[in-house]
Chains A and B, each alone.
Chain A
Amino acid sequence: MIGRGVIGICSLLLMGALSWAALSLPAKPPGLAKASLDRLGESGVAHPVTAVLLNYRGYDTLLEVGVLLLALAGAWSLGRGEQPAENPQSRPLLLSLLRVLLPMLLLAAGHLLWIGAFAPGGAFQGGALLGGALVLLILGGLARRALKRERCLRAGLALGVLVFAGIAAVTMALTGGLLQYPPGAGGALILVIETAAMVSIGLALGLLYLGGQPPEGARRSLLATPPDHA
């Protein structure tokens, strides 16, 4: 067992090395700002970050949606999660807060998705809000019935990857390049991808909160009871 002092000294050395490395980077890097702004007109959106995420480097985002699905599959493979809030009626404050918050969260998510084309926003920001809304629903005990429809949940979770990969395959057949959109179609395709991705991201982030598969499905599961769950 290494003492804390040794780890502390090593950490200080690491901090020095990292600072030196960061400070010795060129002060005026060429960067990709000019290249990405020059071709912005062709990308189909007017915001450079969205253009990078879903056009120039769309494969990053495709893989990222896959990582999200993989993380959820990993969490689900650990067994069933717990249902919080035994009796939602005992939390009147949460319920009345939800009545105000939920519509606003949904509205804000849609707004963020739409303005992502020309301002900061997009599928991930919107999806994070949807995920938050889902966590609030679960906490309030209002998502019980929805959580039992596991097939719908799975379809919603896979939607982002499926739509994204489908569009990637079709555009690849049309243009010959991975995620290289046909001229003029970029904006519409990006909106379709982002909408599907937002639903999946929101579901995945919200369901990760359970820390496992949703508790006990409607179809009586035959093998689902974990033997060590005393």
Chain B
Amino acid sequence: MPDADYRLYLMASAAIFTIGFYSMLTQAHLLRRIMAFNVMGCGVFLLFITLAARAPGPVPDPVPHAMVLTGIVVSVCATGLALALAGRVQTVTGKTELEPGEDAGGRSGAAHHGSSA
């Protein structure tokens, strides 16, 4: 009976990760991308917590729990830095999106800039 529950959580973690992955690739707004990245992280955390709960023993496995706790802090840091960068992009360019081609690699972006300047 609880085994079915675990299967549900495992598939839900895959689904949450994929929702984030899809949004990361389709959304252009930087804030939405940062949120998508966080949704992907939530999927990973759910997977870890499920695996911890599934481990045999009187209490859940503490090692994945500790890793998720570490992961949350790292993802908050990365989000904070990403938001600061996105804010900087908006201050400098006045846009909330990266220009097409700009994130496709240094050389093509530089060439694009050179031609437009």
Chain A residues close to B by CB (< 8 Å) = 1-2, 4, 7-8, 11-12, 14-15, 18-19, 22-23, 25, 27-34, 36-37, 48-49, 51-53, 56-57, 60-61, 64, 67-68, 70-72, 74-75, 78-79, 81, 122, 124, 201, 204-205, 208-209, 211-212, 228-229
List B contacts of A15 (CB < 8 A). 14-15, 17-18
- B75 to chain A minimum Cβ distance, whole angstroms, is 10
List A contacts of B61 (CB < 8 A). 31-33, 36
Interface check B117, CB cutoff 8 A: no
Q: Tell me, in angstroms, the Cα distance from A52 to B81 when the chains sit together.
A: 27
- A143 to chain B minimum Cβ distance, whole angstroms, is 17
Contact present for A68 and B77 (CB under 8 Å): yes
Tell whether A51 pairs with B91 under 8 Å between CB atoms, given A22-B11, A60-B67: no
Interface check B3, CB cutoff 8 A: yes
- B103 to chain A minimum Cβ distance, whole angstroms, is 12
Tell whether A37 pairs with B59 under 8 Å between CB atoms, given A124-B73, A212-B84: yes
The listed residue with most B CB atoms (<10 A of its CB), out of A30, A53, A72, is: A53
Chain B residues close to A by CB (< 8 Å) = 3, 6-7, 10-11, 13-15, 17-18, 21-22, 25-26, 47, 51-52, 54-63, 65-67, 69-70, 72-74, 76-78, 80-81, 83-85, 87-88, 91-92, 100
Contact present for B15 and A33 (CB under 8 Å): no
Contact present for B51 and A29 (CB under 8 Å): yes
Contact present for B100 and A1 (CB under 8 Å): yes
**Contact partner of A52 among B65, B77, B91, CB < 8 A?**
B65
CB<8 Å pairs between A and B, sample of 11:
A7-B26, A12-B18, A15-B14, A15-B17, A22-B11, A29-B54, A48-B59, A49-B65, A60-B70, A64-B73, A212-B88
Of all A-B residue pairs in the complex, the 8 with the closest CB atoms, nearest first, are: A31-B55, A208-B80, A48-B62, A71-B77, A18-B14, A52-B66, A33-B57, A15-B18
Q: Tell me, in angstroms, the Cα distance from A228 to B76 when the chains sit together.
A: 29
